[in-house]
């Protein structure tokens, strides 16, 4: 097999890897914020549930969570989904897992904002929602950028875990090509791809950081 054919095959996997990556961020970033609110809720029950959720999601392997999300509908509820559910399960598993990590990052960020910011906004007549979205969140985002960058870089590499549900993302394909051709080159190419992807992620995050550097 020549290298172009291999790259062409891997490219299809890269698209799927990209989809897993972007869809996970798209849903887990907002979900994490909601869980962070749950974690800081006045209601003790909501707080406890959020805490347990975060603890389970961070305390068990992501690979196991993917298997559970995919097979639980049948084994627990007897529901059978079509073959398309594989990809849905992967996205769902990643979103549920990453939301837990993001929730803790948000919480730390929100709690680090001086109480005076809340008080100033309150006295000026801002509603709670206005205070959060106009005053607090922009400052939180600036503060949590470094830990979020860490998570996003980890996510790029974690997408390879989708192989447990044999979703045809890049690493799954790389392993299959490697097996068929009895060569390690596809795995090396995959490694290079993850590295370049992460260089890009780091570059974009740095841009955002710079953009938010206009104030201290």
Partner 1 sequence: MKKLLALLLCVTMAAFTLTGCGASEDAAATSEGGERTTFTVGFDAEFPPYGYMDDNGEYVGFDLSLAQEVCNRNGWELVKQPINWDTKDMELSSGAIDCIWNGFTINGREDAYTWSVPYVDNSQVFVVAADAGIASQADLAGKTVAVQADSSALAALNSEENTALTESFAALNQFAEYNTAFMDLEAGAVDAVAMDIGVANYQMESREAGKFVILDDYLSTEQYGVGFLLGNEALRDQVQSTLYEMVEDGTFAKIAEEWGLSDVVCLTADAE
Partner 2 sequence: MNLLEINHMKKSFGDLEVIRDFSLSVKEGEVVSIIGPSGSGKSTILRCATLLEQMDDGELIYMGEHAAKSVNGKSVYMSKNVLKKIRSYFGLVFQNFNLFPHYNVLKNIMDAPVTVCKVPKEEAKERALKLLDQLGLAEKGKAYPYQLSGGQQQRVSIARALALQPKILFFDEPTSALDPELTGEVLKVIKELAAQKMTMIIVTHEMQFARELSDRIIFMENGVVVQEGTPDEVFHSDNERIREFIGKIEAVY
Which residue ranges make up the site for partner 2 (CB under 8 A)? 114, 116-117, 119-126, 130, 134-135, 138-139, 142, 214-216
Distance separating alpha carbons of residues 67 and 100, to the nearest angstrom: 18
Asked if residue 67 binds partner 1 (CB under 8 A), the reply is yes
99 neighbors 33 (Cβ within 8 angstroms): no
Distance separating alpha carbons of residues 77 and 192, to the nearest angstrom: 41
24 neighbors 94 (Cβ within 8 angstroms): yes
What would the x/- binding string for partner 1 be over residues 167 to 196, using CB under 8 A? -x---xx-xxxxxxxxxx------------
Interface residue with partner 1 among 87, 140, 144, 152 (CB under 8 A) is 87
Tell me the Ramachandran region of residue 125: left when phi exceeds 0, alpha when psi lies from -120 to 50, beta otherwise.
left
**Residue 114 binding target from partner 1, partner 2, none, CB below 5 to 8 Å by type:** partner 2
2 neighbors 185 (Cβ within 8 angstroms): no
Q: How many CA atoms lie within 13 A of 120 on its CB side?
A: 8
Return the number of the residue (6 or 144) whose C-beta is nearest partner 1: 6
**Residue 165 binding target from partner 2, partner 1, none, CB below 5 to 8 Å by type:** partner 1
Return the number of the residue (122 or 181) whose C-beta is nearest partner 2: 122
Collapse the DSSP code of 114 into the 3-class scheme (helix H, G, I; strand E, B; otherwise coil) and give the result. Answer: coil
Summarize as ranges the residues that interact with partner 1 (CB under 8 A). 1, 5, 8-9, 12, 15-16, 19, 22-23, 26, 67, 71, 74-75, 80-84, 87-88, 163-166, 168, 172-173, 175-184
């Amino acid at each position: 097999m020549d290298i172009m054919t291999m790259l062409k095959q891997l490219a299809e996997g890269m698209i799927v890897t990209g989809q897993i990556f972007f869809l996970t961020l798209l849903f887990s970033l907002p979900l994490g914020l909601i869980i962070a609110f749950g974690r800081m809720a006045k209601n003790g029950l909501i707080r406890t549930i959020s805490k347990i959720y975060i603890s389970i999601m961070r305390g068990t392997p992501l690979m196991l969570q993917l298997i559970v999300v995919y097979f639980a509908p049948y084994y627990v509820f007897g529901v059978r989904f079509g073959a398309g559910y594989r990809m849905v399960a992967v996205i769902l598993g990643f979103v549920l897992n990453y939301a837990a990590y993001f929730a803790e990052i948000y919480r730390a960020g929100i709690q680090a904002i001086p109480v005076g910011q809340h008080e100033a906004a309150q006295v000026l007549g801002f509603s709670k929602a206005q205070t959060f979205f106009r005053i607090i969140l922009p400052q939180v985002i600036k503060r949590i950028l470094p830990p979020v960058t860490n998570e996003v870089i980890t996510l790029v590499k974690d997408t390879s875990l989708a192989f447990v549900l044999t979703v045809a993302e890049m690493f799954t394909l790389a392993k299959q090509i490697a097996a068929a051709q009895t060569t390690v080159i596809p795995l090396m190419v995959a490694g290079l791809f993850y590295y370049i992807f992460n260089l890009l992620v780091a570059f974009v995050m740095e841009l955002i950081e710079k953009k938010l550097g206009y104030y201290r």
